[in-house]
Structure 1
Amino acid sequence: MNSAPPTSLYDRDILLWVEDTVAKLKAKDFEHLDLENLIEEVESLGISQRNALVSRLMVMLEHLLKRLYVDSPYDYNGWERTIRTQRLEISFLLEDTPSLKAHWEASFTKAWSRALKIVRQDYPDTPFPDEWPFEADLEALLDRPFWQTPP
């Protein structure tokens, strides 16, 4: 059973396709662009940025929940380092893509439900809150040391 090799450059070598597309755009050779795949790739950029925000928020919230509710002083430092790292990465992401701020609330909601599910599986005997007990705005989540003033 021989399957036919992919025929388009996009299917054969995405990096080469990107380089070729960039060269055509720079040369204003719009007539020879692979518009279908170009549109798909541009659309996926926005989705990728939103997913990156949710992913980083999820990791940060998991570690915030563990730091706030799991009684394991030995792990506090590691959890706090992860929180700081995710905060920094989120700040960089928002600096590079400011329009993501408009998606903050939806991203937080999605990340919260995923983070809560994970920590409840990892720590089934720990009573985690159903709702985030603090303010969920961007500034608070990127700056506030919530564990210093627990709920």
Structure 2
Amino acid sequence: MGRLFTLRDEDFHAWTQEQATALRQAAESRINLPVDWENLAEEVEEMGGQLRTEIASALARIIEHLLKLEHSHAADPRRGWVNSVLEHRDRIALLLEDSPSLRRHMDDLLVRGWKHGRKYALRGLAQDEIGDKDLPALCPYRLDEVLDDGWWPENRHGLPPVEAIS
């Protein structure tokens, strides 16, 4: 039992997936206890799935604000976009620290994050008359860039680099 408690502390996502499998095996062995094994397994498994959703959502916000930093004509909201990117990068780092097995899902989560982040950015960039044709169809940012606190896209309209925002 000690290894399971250690796994839970070291990688919560991996623990949820392992526990869901164990619950399903217990159900197959027909242990005579009044437990709804399959639904319990699904709930535990979903706890791990929620972590993936949380990361995809944070990636969407990062991408939304990276696109706005790169494409917007507006200078005033940039500080807020920078702060949002930094906050969501930290959030992802903490989730990956608690559940390192999620790293193997990051490429797929970036694709999900791109889809939603691009949509959110388009809505916000409409005031700058930037539309669908003005943003790339595929994510132009590498995962390591998206997660790197020191990396920022250049603004296409000559606004100062993010490093100049105090």
Normalization by structure 2: what TM-score? 0.65
Counterpart in the other structure of 1:140 = 145
Counterpart in the other structure of 2:103 = 101
Range 61-70 or range 120-129, more displaced: 120-129
Supply the distance in 1 between the matched residues of 2:57 and 2:73 (Cα, whole angstroms).
Answer: 25
Matched, 1:51 2:58: no
Range 78-87 or range 116-125, more displaced: 116-125
Give 1:107 shift.
0.5
Matched, 1:31 2:36: no
Q: Contact 2:69–2:78 (CA<8 Å) still a contact in 1?
A: yes
Matched-pair identity in %: 29
- Secondary structure of the structure 2 residue equivalent to 1:91: helix
Report the AA paired with residue 81 of structure 2: W
Supply the distance in 2 between the matched residues of 1:51 and 1:107 (Cα, whole angstroms).
Answer: 8
Give 1:32 shift.
4.0
| Count of aligned pairs | 120
Give 1:60 shift.
0.9
Counterpart in the other structure of 1:67 = 69
Q: Among 90, 93, 102, which residue is 2:92 paired with?
A: 90
Normalization by structure 1: what TM-score? 0.71
In structure 1, the gaps of 5 or more residues are: 1-28
Counterpart in the other structure of 1:80 = 82
Counterpart in the other structure of 1:128 = 135
Once the two structures are superposed, residues 89-136 of structure 1 have per-residue CA deviations (whole angstroms, 9 ceiling, x without a partner) of 0000111111111111111011101111222233232222222223x1
Supply the distance in 2 between the matched residues of 1:87 and 1:71 (Cα, whole angstroms).
Answer: 24
Report the AA paired with residue 147 of structure 2: L
Distance 1:31 1:83, change over 3 A: same
Q: Contact 2:63–2:146 (CA<8 Å) still a contact in 1?
A: no
Supply the distance in 2 between the matched residues of 1:54 and 1:86 (Cα, whole angstroms).
Answer: 10
Give 1:69 shift.
0.8
Supply the distance in 2 between the matched residues of 1:123 and 1:140 (Cα, whole angstroms).
Answer: 22
RMSD over aligned CA atoms reads 2.1
